[in-house]
Each structure stands twice: as structure tokens, then as C-alpha cells.
Amino acid sequence: MLRPGLCSVTLRKHSAPEVIRLAAQAGLSGIEWGGDVHVPPGDLANARNVGAQTRDAGLAVISYGSYYRLAHSEAEGMAFAAVLETALALEAPVVRTWAGTKSPEKASPAEKAAVVADAVRIASLAHSAGVRVALEFHANTLTETLDSAQGLLRAANHANLYTLWQPIYWGDGATVAANEAILRALLPRMAHLHVFTWEQKTPGVTERFPLAHGETAWRQYLSLLTANPAEDAHTRWLCLEFVAGDSPDNLSADAATLKHWLSDTGAGPKV
């Protein structure tokens, strides 16, 4: 099953109740709650309250979008134990983490090994609590490329370690064919996806577009997902992230677009 959701970081300037209202108003089905503004790690009362308000509005808590960085955050004062406690208070089935602080070509063998070791550690801790761990698929981390992401997953070799996916929009890898190949390769360890249409026509300058601008690409990605449903019966969430101008109106428009596409696949809710 493919379902439409929202990353709360899309609406950082809005309160958690406003995020819930806007997500429900847009007809989305769930929220990935970010750990930077809306659900800071360690504030368990707030996490319980946000989780309850989300469910009371008929929405699912998709994930706890933490900013825990493997082999880095513990030394900086963000203990994974606090992150996991917060995810449990939120009643999130997944906690999002980051694969270090460096791209593959800049990380030393020792730094890569430390990231792997921490991934194994936190995946084991989360497994004991019934929570899955997913790695953000992102630049300037060890999941910046397909090869490095797969290498990390293989080296960790932990059944409770998954990855997210989002389209690469910079450099030579920013093609539909390349993104589709990455998505296909990561499907067996896929938790959920972040959805947007961005382009970087000038190096270092990212432009955000309405989601509909990327219709050709996203319909191909959705066809691939529809043809390869999750084997473990988990819902695959497609979470809108960072809409143009951080505008609630643009969120509503992108949500309508995403819901229409999902309905067309036959694997998502009908509209």
C-alpha cells in the first residue's frame, strides 16, 4: 500500500497543531515528525501530546525524523537513548537517522567503520523496543550514493536497519533513469520516501517547483513502487517535503497532485 504523508519540517514555522490541521485539510494520511522544532528529543510530554493529537485527527505518525548522526551525535550530547524514548512516546514505528557527517569520498576508513558500528548498536536498541531504524538518503553522509548506501547496509548486516529514498537533484546523477535505478536497488531495504520536485540548474542553487512539474519522473517512480510492493506488508509512505516557498497553499496543491497520482496507480487511496 502506498499512502501520502507530510514531513513536518516542511512547515517549520507552524506549530504542531497547525501542521496537523494543514495535513488533514490537504487530505494527507500521516506525518513524519521532525526532531528539530516540533518534537525535540527528550521532551517526552510534548512527544506524547503531539502523537495523540495526530491520531485524534485521524492521521498516522509515520516516523520520528530525528537528527541523530551515527558516530557523531552521542559525543555532541544527543544520546540515541533519548531519541528512542522520544520516538516511543510519539508512538512512531520508525526513527530516521543520518549516516554520519561526511560524504563517502571524504570519510576515512576508520570513520566509516565507526558509522557502521553505531548503526548496528542503535538498530539493536531500537529492535528491542519494536522500532525500525531508517537512514536518511542524503548528500554529505555515507548514503550520498547508491554504492556507499548499499555498502553501509551490507557492512552493518542488521535486519532492523533500513533506508529512506529521495530523488537526487544535483550533479550528473540528477536524471530520472539514475534515480529510478537507485530506487529499484534500495527497494528491499526501503522504509519510506521523501517527495519533492527540485532542480539545481546552477551548482549550489536549488530551485523548488510544484510537484506537478516532475510528473513524468514521479509517475515512473510510482510505477516501480506499485510493481514491487513491500514484502513485509509495511505501508510505504510518500512524504511531501519542503514545498515551494514553504507555503501551505503549495502544500495543498502538491498533496492534491500526489493523491491523484497514487489513485491512478491503484496502490494508493482513491480520490
pLDDT tens for residues 3-35?
Answer: 999 999 999 999 999 999 999 999 999 999 999
Residue 61 maps to a domain:
yes
Residue 270 maps to a domain:
no
DSSP helix/strand/coil, 206: strand
Residue 63 pairs with which residues in a beta bridge?
A: 32
Q: Are 59 and 32 in contact (CB under 8 A)?
A: no
Q: What is the pLDDT of residue 232?
A: 73
Q: What is the pLDDT of residue 194?
A: 98
Q: What is the pLDDT of residue 36?
A: 96
pTM: 0.96
Residue 202 maps to a domain:
yes
Helices marked H in the chain — which ranges?
16-25, 44-56, 80-90, 109-128, 146-156, 176-186, 215-227, 248-265
Number of alpha carbons in the 13 Å side-chain half-sphere of residue 75:
9
Residue 195 pairs with which residues in a beta bridge?
A: 240
The number of distinct structural domains making up the chain is: 1
Residue 271 maps to a domain:
no
C-alpha cell at 228: 514491487
Spatial separation of the C-alpha atoms in residues 13 and 11, rounded to whole Å: 5
C-alpha cell at 141: 553522509
Q: What is the pLDDT of residue 131?
A: 98
Q: Which domain holds residue 216?
A: 2-265
Residue 167 maps to a domain:
yes
Q: What is the pLDDT of residue 203?
A: 83
Residues of the chain scoring pLDDT < 50:
none
Q: Are 119 and 161 in contact (CB under 8 A)?
A: yes
Assign residue 170 the CATH number of its domain: 3.20.20.150
Q: What is the pLDDT of residue 229?
A: 87
Residue 210 maps to a domain:
yes
Residue 256 maps to a domain:
yes
Give the number of other Cβ atoms within 10 Å of residue 63's Cβ. 28
**AA letter at 196:** F
Q: What is the pLDDT of residue 163?
A: 98
